[in-house]
Structure 1
């Protein structure tokens, strides 16, 4: 029912906004009706009571029938919703006339017809507004998904050729380890090509990091030292795919590979309050412009994806203190069930 263009009127927020809108309309009509003052308060009170009754009962009926209405084509759903509102307005109009004009069988049919016509015009305008808002939201979601897919598709591990050379050298001396490296490499590229998932569990992202580091350990040997500090209970934390792995890749490519003596990559993850913090530390990179620009591009890609998915709740920062370069990522604490 998420594809239904009418908001869920079973929710308090939707009904409240509908009541506020209808009350503003009543206020405008009361101002127009007044001749000797700014507002005809008697007219405002009676019309407000009538409009609120019809709004609440119509919203309740549409809420109850929402599942069936959502299965209909837009024109048919529009017809049935308009019919529900008009029948509701007619019923309350007849009731109001019987109370205000107690003579049995006497109704002001002209006034009732005016109310029905006004109700029809208003409900058609509201439904048109809902439909346009729904179409705009669908277009916005499609554009965001295309944007995320394009950003994720650009994150391609640039260690392919080094990894293939490492695997080739292992085929003769250690075929089992070469096979493991091929499996790790294929899993990394499978993740980079799988652009349909907006969020994955943290455990999957950590597994990708471990596979990447296993390949790099074959190439760099003792030059690559690792330190892991992952707090318990974060396995199902939601994270965009290929978010932490590129940060680890940058740490190796910019902080470890250029140094003859190598260095240590430190990876931390912990929950504090309503947020989860991820930290990647490595020796401070040198001032090589091409490496620096590549690092900034990767950070920019990740920041854009986080902004599109979480807004200001997600933060990506990088800093250096002494000879240590640190990237810190803050995510809202969210559980990924799938």
Structure 2
């Protein structure tokens, strides 16, 4: 779950009713059949339920996982695209779903209400891994090499004109150049815009920091195009693996004071399932080690911008990596 997703209780009821009533059904279609190179079937006889959150990246990760594990011989039930942010998590906690891609920042802040900022991705993963294993017998496998967190973007021409690549360099600009576009949720979050400005020494609604008139609040989707045009703002709130970052040629500014919590993508497996099928560690690790910010931007863009089906994007990527045939 990305930091922008809200917890919707009704979604939990919806998915659990679906699980208990008519079986597990994907809200975004099915995955494509394939086999491993050489016909290996290390999961032959295994029965697995793969779920995901409903936003593009979550669905893609679910489709990649379902396709690959089915190619490895498992009988996979596809529950990708579960509505809301809580439904897939609750399905896994209830034992109705086995595998779910999560984010370390979500586990730390949303699921365990922690307020300590741990900027080191590996340390944060270890803390989340330990508490989730203890509290819920969920195994958070080693994280992938992508971090889907908040950041600020700027168009390439504006980055060159202003000479900025880091948030500290933005803070050093003249007040007139410190203009921002953000959505309402990020503006009001306790770990969002206003505390971030404070961290960088340019407090909100301060004539020497960021005057209120320098901030435009708008829908999150519009922020990207506004930032690409550098109007009405030079800097816009983005998500680091969003396909529009690459499509619009935005520069992701370095959060050099480490304000934002890491949201490393991580495959989470129920403990009894990983014990029953320990080969999942290797199989899911094979996927994780290949996933980067640049790759997720590309795959997300193929769905959100080019309109491709997530199942096809997942299949094509696995095939391009020679993981399936």
TM-score range relative to shorter protein: under 0.3
Name the structure with the higher helix share. Answer: 1
Q: TM-score, normalised by structure 1?
A: 0.20
Q: TM-score, normalised by structure 2?
A: 0.20
Structure with more relative contact order (C-alpha pairs < 8 Å, separation 6 or more): 2
